[in-house]
Structure 1
Amino acid sequence: MLNTQYVRSIKMIRDEIPSFKKYPFNLPSLKTLDELSFHPNVTFLVGENGMGKSTLLEAIAVALGFNPEGGSFNFNFSTYDSHSPLGDYLQVIKGIEKPRDGFFLRAESFYNVASNIEEMDQEILGRPIIDSFGGVSLHEQSHGEAFFATFLHRFGGNGIYILDEPEAALSPLRQMSMLTRIHDLINENSQFIIATHSPIIMAYPDAKIFELTEEGISESKLEETNHYRIMKQFFDDKNRMLHHLLNG
């Protein structure tokens, strides 16, 4: 397995931040953020809702030159301007090699990416962009099928891939298939940074996991993450957990 590290780490430019009392800098995970060093293959950002993992992932993507709503490096559309200013205060430390491909794939704005592809294909001559996504309109597939088709066909290796909560569009079986595809792309000289709630996805071997909590950001192992422990507790004793949930 190759160890190509396109993004080595990020540093927060703390002395330029105007205030740690305003969003997103008031989030506990960002108040204490100084530097994060990434795994050359796969790095996960995990945590409960509101801890800032998607905000941080978006800022990393923006700092790398991606469109805030997703897409490849050459996507520059905007349907809404709601991304945080965090990316302006991150310094990206890159590796020696430059990626030949890249994509920022986020579930919440994937519809907008699909619409932009159709708009661009109406304006350009030559090979349609949608051919790189499997050749079938992403709007003519289910959300999960379109999302996985992008992951399967558009990602070509030798790339940096930023994924925001991909499990939102994928069944558990598809999430397992995603692990296989991630592994194939790692062997094709790729690097992933992924924000996720899914213990299935974060089970990728030898990955680095950063957990964002009220105490800040800390490196963790799969079995130590809150997501894994809660899921394990539920399925180890489903009836007891349901009793507490439904009967107070």
Structure 2
Amino acid sequence: MHKPVEVLSSQFLISFELLKDEIKDFNNYPFSLQIVKFFEKIELHKNVTFLIGENGTGKSTLLESLATAYGFNPEGGSKNHRFRTKQTHSVLSEYIRYTRGVNRPNSEFFLRAESFYNLATNIDEIADKVFLKNNYGGKSLHEQSHGESFMSLFNNRFQEKGFYILDEPEAALSPQRQMSFLIRLNQLVKEECQFIIATHSPIILSYPNSKIIQISENGLEHVDYEETEHYKLYKFFLNNKDYMMKNLQIEKIDNFKTEG
């Protein structure tokens, strides 16, 4: 891991950059990803930075690499979680250097939706009842619904002056719960927390105290909420449902019956 650059700032993480001069072959994964071609340096918002893009653009790989370079376990958790169920993370983290402020966060966490089950299992293995009460709502995350376990994490484990990296937090949340997440996000921002979030949710993406970085075949660009592909597509679909069904060649089936 590269030693971070430190500057006089109250912001926990200021920017991160890819050290392209140290990459020897851009034909091999993960350096062959489109995002690597365009990525040089990303300046982070002091409150919330969103990373968005289509599946396959490399946003989750980039987020995982940043989290790993920062010192998190690639499968999620705090820096104290060292469990590993399978070696799947890329070596891109070895070529990332970040710039941080002089202040250190009181709390840190990396939420990775796809490996959250493994994290919950590891927490069960190492936690006692007091730890669960203080950090996860008082009971095992496995004893809560998927959405409840995510909200228990946000409401209990996340604390003031924290630094949090979240990969698709909406994965377990209904639209109503996503709005509850926005309320909690705003509370934490007011308590001087900083977030980096990869998301597909136009609800979560609407949070105003933020910067949106869109990843596409044209590169990385800072965009306004109403200019994101997520917002435009959802808005068009909801306002033109019948047209979209016709365009997608989806027809209503009358008197639908199942066999048996």
TM-score higher than 0.5 here?
A: yes
Q: 118, 125, 131: which one pairs with 1:119?
A: 125
Q: Please give the alpha-carbon distance, in whole angstroms, between the structure 2 residues aligned to 1:218 and 1:95.
A: 24
Q: Provide the alpha-carbon RMSD of the alignment.
A: 1.6
- For 2:74, the equivalent position in structure 1 comes to 68
Q: Give secondary structure in 1 for the equivalent of 2:77.
A: coil
- Where structure 2 has 5 or more consecutive residues not aligned to the other structure, the ranges are 1-8, 252-260
Shift of 1:205: 0.5
- For 1:44, the equivalent position in structure 2 comes to 50
Q: Please give the alpha-carbon distance, in whole angstroms, between the structure 1 residues aligned to 2:131 and 2:238.
A: 46
- For 2:22, the equivalent position in structure 1 comes to 16
Q: Please give the alpha-carbon distance, in whole angstroms, between the structure 2 residues aligned to 1:222 and 1:85.
A: 32
Q: Is the 8 A contact 2:132 2:139 kept in 1?
A: no
Q: Give secondary structure in 1 for the equivalent of 2:248.
A: helix
- For 1:217, the equivalent position in structure 2 comes to 220
The two structures have a TM-score, normalised by structure 1, of 0.94
1:171-201, Cα deviation, whole Å (9 max, x unpaired): 0011111111011001111000000000110
Q: Is the 8 A contact 2:163 2:195 kept in 1?
A: yes
Letter matched to residue 189 of structure 1: E
Shift of 1:39: 0.1
Q: Percent identity?
A: 51
1:27-58, Cα deviation, whole Å (9 max, x unpaired): 22211211000000000000000001111111
Q: Give secondary structure in 2 for the equivalent of 1:22.
A: coil
Q: 133, 139, 147: which one pairs with 2:142?
A: 139
Tell which structure's C-alpha radius of gyration is larger.
Answer: 2
Q: Please give the alpha-carbon distance, in whole angstroms, between the structure 1 residues aligned to 2:206 and 2:104.
A: 27
1:148 and 2:168 equivalent? no
Q: Give secondary structure in 2 for the equivalent of 1:128.
A: helix
Letter matched to residue 52 of structure 1: G
Letter matched to residue 80 of structure 1: K
Q: Please give the alpha-carbon distance, in whole angstroms, between the structure 2 residues aligned to 1:224 and 1:155.
A: 30
Q: Is the 8 A contact 2:212 2:225 kept in 1?
A: yes
Q: 69, 88, 106: which one pairs with 1:82?
A: 88
Q: Give secondary structure in 1 for the equivalent of 2:121.
A: helix
1:113-153, Cα deviation, whole Å (9 max, x unpaired): 1100111126xxx8434541111111011111111111111
Q: Please give the alpha-carbon distance, in whole angstroms, between the structure 1 residues aligned to 2:208 and 2:12.
A: 19
- For 2:4, the equivalent position in structure 1 comes to none
Q: Give secondary structure in 2 for the equivalent of 1:246.
A: coil
Q: 97, 103, 124: which one pairs with 2:103?
A: 97
Shift of 1:160: 0.5
The two structures have a TM-score, normalised by structure 2, of 0.90
Q: Please give the alpha-carbon distance, in whole angstroms, between the structure 2 residues aligned to 1:29 and 1:43.
A: 17
Shift of 1:18: 2.2
Letter matched to residue 46 of structure 1: I
Q: Is the 8 A contact 2:14 2:45 kept in 1?
A: yes
- For 2:31, the equivalent position in structure 1 comes to 25
How many residue pairs match? The answer is 243
- After superposing the two structures, state which structure 1 stretch, 20-29 or 182-191, moved more: 20-29
- Where structure 1 has 5 or more consecutive residues not aligned to the other structure, the ranges are none
